[in-house]
Structure 1
């Protein structure tokens, strides 16, 4: 995943992007209205002219401002509730809710459209024929707003609930796990820690979590320099500035510096290349449910059911990495093991479930089921985890 692709994937998930895009589209439609007047007949301007559209625009301008403000308050309140009942780290995931973003963008775009149209009418920019076009655009905007209100009403019944939060985490976790199932080593060659040769280390450019590794760019630079790069830090791991990110045998300082800049390091973890992050969020939600102040073992059991389903359906059956299929043959990194996925999922829940025997019983049942997974690593990883957790 290149930096440009990463930016393009993250951009539509930002609330401001949809709001700005729809607002600009509304202004563009108003600007093009005078250009469409030659296609109109003269009698339409008498029926659908300035006097017909101005009252509707006034209602939209005043109503959409109030609706947008109210919807923002509801959104923030629902997201804070979800963060307090599940895990604080889910707040960033909730901000990427596309339904909420689309609804708020429609409300804001309607307000910008109506207010701009009123200003243009008062400035006498529109001819009687152009007013007919504005009337048609206004009718279209009203239809979009009504659809947005219906979507918002339906979405509010679920927004901020535990079911919605868990479903959102599970969906993003499934996408990340499925991506690793397809490319277990992010398209590079897989290695174990013992296979990493000695060589000059590539230091981290800053302290934080490894978020995204630009495999294509690293492979291109490694091919040009005729050097192999062995990554020692996986996405989701924390690294300090100056500490080794990778090893590049026979590489010079300029090459190491260039490779270091191709690893995105941030303050928080992300889902793009980190399959354990979603499992960590699910485990944290179960921990919150098992806290003495909440005491909700049912939610912890539901979380373990989702974790069990994710691991069963997304863990690859074949654990042998085929180096012949590696798209980035010059880049080597370790695959995410079954033991690492289990470690991110069940131990945090087990530590908080000492006083909840029904939760521990369900965990034992889940581990027994996963022990029969066709993945060759899973049975041994389950047995080791059961010994350390359940005795």
Structure 2
């Protein structure tokens, strides 16, 4: 049930792991060691080129020494840029920037080239490479060098924006949009809505959280496969919530064994930090915190707050207008809640309404944004937006704005 979506989610989660890409470079040198004797004769006859390792080793040595320096220097740049971005926006943006595929691809290419060249030298000195494999190794080395050159060009272009406020907000918006679109299309990730539960037994068995931390991922497919066809399971938490070890995160009917309870508990991925894989509110919170930080007295940058506000407006607008996937396969045994529009609106705008209440430019942009979202076509989101508009007006009244400024806000009809 939902195996393709689970595979895609797994790929998205680990594709951003730079170590995985470096391992692939190291494997290429091992493949050359094992496949070299098999294909060397055919390649040499096809190309009619004689080559020995005395020609290849200098290239590998230069590549290893230069890539070590480039990798170290690039990592220092990345750390400094992420620190600057965190200071300018919010510390939470650092976790999103770590998943930036451009930075990871470039650094993986540099580190991978170093690992490839070093491992190739070691394998040759250890006697794993035969002399006839020299042409194959040179071909792989040329491909690696071309990859490094291409990565250098990407890195130079990427450095012009890395660590800037604009780039940090753009990356945060892109990741948030990816998560919100997936949630809009699959609101409960394959589970049925709680409204489909007509009754629930009082003796249902509670499923404990495997550890304390934030709920990062709920594997609906694993839950579906673990319980029997006649049983039902109700999920009581959602991604982004903080739970304590042993606290109930779900309930299941029937008389499950201890092993089954343990398997059901393992379907909940708990971590020390929040993750955007299924957490609809995290990306919105990052942008909202960036706006609040810009509005602090020490920074006093309403322009950045307005920019973040516009991004939040766009995210919720597209979320509201994304149609759910009617053909998606739903579990007939697992039931869960979904992202509450009130929580989404609160995560996006409450802190801006509070911290920007005394700045008329921000207050007007916020009210205009809420007025536009009040026409999104989603009744529940529209109701949450109107409630937020009332709260924002109350904040502005208590923030000491002039009567004329308050009247300007009232003229924007939400």
Structure 2 length-normalised TM: 0.83
1:146-225 mapped onto 2 (5 Å cutoff): 146-191=149-194, 197-199=200-202, 200=204, 201-224=206-229
CA shift at 1:14, angstroms?
A: 1.1
**Distance in 1 between residues matched to 2:150 and 2:316, nearest whole Å:** 38
How many residues of Structure 1 are paired with residues of Structure 2 in the alignment? 386
* 4+ aligned runs moved over 6 Å, structure 1: 1-4, 193-196
CA pair 205-124 structure 1, distance change in 2 beyond 3 A: closer
Is 1:241 aligned to residue 245 of structure 2? yes
CA shift at 1:274, angstroms?
A: 1.4
**Distance in 2 between residues matched to 1:247 and 1:43, nearest whole Å:** 69
Alpha-carbon contact 1:231-1:247 (below 8 Å) kept: yes
Is 1:57 aligned to residue 40 of structure 2? no
1:71-220 mapped onto 2 (5 Å cutoff): 71-119=74-122, 129-191=132-194, 197-199=200-202, 200=204, 201-220=206-225
**Distance in 1 between residues matched to 2:210 and 2:126, nearest whole Å:** 55
Cα deviation 1:117-150 (Å, max 9, x = unaligned): 4455666776664433333333222222211111
- Give 2:314's aligned residue: 309
- Give 1:67's aligned residue: 70
- Give 1:28's aligned residue: 31
Is 1:259 aligned to residue 264 of structure 2? yes
**Distance in 2 between residues matched to 1:277 and 1:196, nearest whole Å:** 32
- Give 2:405's aligned residue: none
Out of 353, 371, 379, the position equivalent to 2:382 is 379
Alpha-carbon contact 2:169-2:287 (below 8 Å) kept: yes
Pick which of 28-37 and 288-297 moved more: 28-37
Cα deviation 1:278-332 (Å, max 9, x = unaligned): 111111111111122221111111111111111111225779x98x976112222
- Give 2:19's aligned residue: 16
**Distance in 1 between residues matched to 2:95 and 2:199, nearest whole Å:** 36
Pick which of 292-301 and 126-135 moved more: 126-135
CA pair 74-189 structure 1, distance change in 2 beyond 3 A: same
- Give 2:284's aligned residue: 279
CA pair 325-79 structure 1, distance change in 2 beyond 3 A: closer
Alpha-carbon contact 1:19-1:104 (below 8 Å) kept: no
Cα deviation 1:326-346 (Å, max 9, x = unaligned): 611222222222212101110
Structure 1 length-normalised TM: 0.87
Pick which of 35-44 and 339-348 moved more: 35-44
Cα deviation 1:85-112 (Å, max 9, x = unaligned): 2221222222222222222222223223
**Distance in 2 between residues matched to 1:365 and 1:31, nearest whole Å:** 65
* SS of aligned partner of 1:210: strand
**Distance in 2 between residues matched to 1:7 and 1:385, nearest whole Å:** 36
Alpha-carbon contact 2:40-2:132 (below 8 Å) kept: yes
- Unpaired runs of 5+ residues, structure 1, are none
Pick which of 5-14 and 276-285 moved more: 5-14
CA shift at 1:167, angstroms?
A: 1.5
**Distance in 1 between residues matched to 2:57 and 2:151, nearest whole Å:** 22
CA shift at 1:256, angstroms?
A: 4.8
Is 1:291 aligned to residue 296 of structure 2? yes
Q: CA RMSD in A?
A: 3.0
Is 1:354 aligned to residue 357 of structure 2? yes
* SS of aligned partner of 1:328: coil
Pick which of 151-160 and 306-315 moved more: 151-160
CA shift at 1:51, angstroms?
A: 4.7
Alpha-carbon contact 1:173-1:279 (below 8 Å) kept: yes
- Unpaired runs of 5+ residues, structure 2, are 395-414
* SS of aligned partner of 1:108: helix
* SS of aligned partner of 1:335: coil
- Give 1:300's aligned residue: 305
- Give 2:397's aligned residue: none
**Distance in 2 between residues matched to 1:60 and 1:180, nearest whole Å:** 45
**Distance in 2 between residues matched to 1:54 and 1:204, nearest whole Å:** 54
